[in-house]
Amino acid sequence: QVQLVQSGAEVKKPGASVKLSCKASGYTFTAYYMHWVRQAPGQGLEWMGIINPIGGDTTYAQEFQGRITMTSDTSAATVYMELTSLTSEDRAVYYCARGYYDFVYWGQGTTVTVSS
């Protein structure tokens, strides 16, 4: 069965960077794109970007341009999302989700806390 297992919770200081991982199993990793979506406490879902695991082509939401990088390691069936220059506004649960036009399978989420 398809599983997306994300890395553990992170606590970061303002101005720092965070790099999250999402390990896929149960399907051919290179056959499907992966999104990253975040959800601030009590708020809605926010699309961050998408990566093609083969070749690493990416499209990012304009809101994150310049401080987000998505990468893929096909040998480890894992995608990564790095977000830099963190502020309190980046406090959220971050999800990876497999799909292209939609989000079919979701990871369990990683909580990122930004606090001095």
Partner 1 sequence: QSALTQPASVSGAPGQSITISCSGTSSDVGGYNFVSWYQQHPGKAPKLLIYDVRNRPSGVSNRFSGSKSGNTAYLTISGLQAEDEAHYYCSSYTVTNTRIFGGGTELTVL
Binding residues (CB under 8 A) for partner 1: these are: 35, 37, 44-47, 50, 59, 61-62, 95, 97, 101-104, 106-109
Smallest separation (angstroms) from partner 1 to the CB of 32: 14
Nearer residue to partner 1 within complex by CB, 65 or 75: 65
Q: Which is nearer to partner 1, 8 or 116 (CB)?
A: 8
Judged by beta carbon, residue 16 or residue 106, the one nearer partner 1 is 106
The SS3 call for residue 40 is: coil
Task: Decide: 92 and 32 in contact? Cβ < 8 Å.
Answer: no
Least separation in angstroms between residue 27's CB and partner 1 is: 15
List the one residue out of 113, 100, 111, 76 whose CA is nearest residue 6: 111
Distance, in Å, from the CA atom of 110 to the CA atom of 65, rounded to the nearest integer, reads 21
Which tokens belong to 72? Answer: 């893929």
